[in-house]
């Protein structure tokens, strides 16, 4: 069976969303992972690489119940701890870059993000708790000065295997599916969610790569088309810019 005959299978990636309200805080718990410099990890399960280490000034998190089969990658949450006299009212805004489970927590934060939930001079006291009660809510992602970028994953092999993820997806948008325009059959063909935020396909059409990706957000389910998203002579490990901004 040819590659172009798999189009109807694109719906298999759509999973039920968790029953967390997008507009109110939910009670939970959070902890933090070990990192000597306080930043995120470049080996997170979302497959973001160095972006997952530094995005949002390294205020990042691993999640489990909010993972949503990888569609939770790149989403943003406001997380605030609830320990009196230690925690700020605002808490910290984090980007999901990893999967992680721990002691009945919804968030495993980078050390930097965990410490920023504390008022001035109280971060060490907050660290000493290890695990802390929190409230969280989904919030729009804001990446000032950045449009959506298409990152060719380091495991890609030109020209026969392409794996890609989307970076700087702003707003409250979950990336549910990605499709590639195959010139030989003149049709959109679904890419497989390989892991986390990474979608892949074998034997992509030669030349410039046209992609479209489906997001769920305030406007419902939407397909966003990115013509010439990736250049003809693409390289593994490189992120390519676009003119796309999401709300």
Domain CATH for 237: 2.60.40.760
Domain with 88 in it? 26-138
Q: How far is CA 49 from the centre of its chain?
A: 11
Please report the pLDDT score of residue 11 as a whole number.
Answer: 31
Reported as a single tens digit per residue, the pLDDT across 228-245 is: 999 999 999 999 999 999
218 confidence band (pLDDT: 50, 70, 90) = confident
What is the value of pTM for the model shown?
0.89
**192 and 115 belong to one structural domain:** no
Q: CA-CA distance, 102 to 187, in Å (whole number)?
A: 44
Number of domains in the chain: 2
In this predicted structure, the answer to whether residue 3 has a pLDDT above a threshold of 50 is: yes
**129 and 155 belong to one structural domain:** no
103 confidence band (pLDDT: 50, 70, 90) = confident
Q: CA-CA distance, 222 to 205, in Å (whole number)?
A: 24
In this predicted structure, the answer to whether residue 130 has a pLDDT above a threshold of 80 is: yes
**Contact in structure between 123 and 172 (CB atoms under 8 Å):** no
Arithmetic mean of pLDDT over the chain: 91
**61 and 112 belong to one structural domain:** yes
**171 and 126 belong to one structural domain:** no
Domain CATH for 89: 2.40.40.10
The last residue of one of the domains, among 113, 138, 163, is 138
Helix, strand, or coil (residue 40)? coil
The last residue of one of the domains, among 112, 138, 164, is 138
Reported as a single tens digit per residue, the pLDDT across 104-116 is: 999 999 999 999 9
**36 and 120 belong to one structural domain:** yes
Reported as a single tens digit per residue, the pLDDT across 8-29 is: 333 333 333 334 444 489 999 9
The last residue of one of the domains, among 138, 171, 189, is 138
Q: CA-CA distance, 1 to 4, in Å (whole number)?
A: 8
């Amino acid at each position: 069976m040819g590659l172009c005959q798999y189009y109807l299978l694109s719906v298999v990636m759509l999973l039920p969303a968790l029953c967390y309200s997008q507009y109110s805080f939910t009670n939970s718990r959070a902890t933090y992972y070990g990192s000597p410099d306080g930043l995120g990890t470049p080996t997170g399960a979302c497959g973001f690489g160095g972006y997952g280490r530094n995005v949002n000034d390294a205020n990042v998190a691993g999640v489990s119940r909010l993972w949503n089969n990888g569609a939770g990658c790149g989403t943003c949450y406001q997380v605030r701890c609830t320990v009196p006299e230690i925690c700020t009212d605002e808490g910290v805004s984090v980007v999901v870059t990893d999967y992680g489970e721990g002691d009945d927590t919804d968030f495993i934060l980078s050390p930097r993000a965990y410490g920023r939930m504390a008022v001035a001079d109280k971060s060490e006291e907050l660290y000493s708790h290890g695990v802390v009660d929190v409230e969280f809510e989904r919030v729009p992602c804001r990446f000032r000065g950045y449009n959506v970028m298409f990152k060719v994953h380091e495991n890609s092999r030109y020209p026969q295997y392409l794996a890609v993820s989307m970076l700087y997806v702003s707003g409250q948008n979950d990336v549910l599916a990605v499709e590639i325009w195959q010139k030989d059959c003149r049709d959109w063909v679904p890419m497989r969610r390989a892991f986390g935020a990474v979608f892949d396909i074998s034997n992509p059409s030669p030349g410039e790569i046209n992609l479209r990706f489906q997001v769920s957000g305030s406007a419902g389910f939407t397909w966003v088309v990115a013509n010439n998203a990736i250049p003809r002579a693409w390289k593994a490990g490189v992120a390519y810019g676009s003119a796309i901004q999401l709300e």
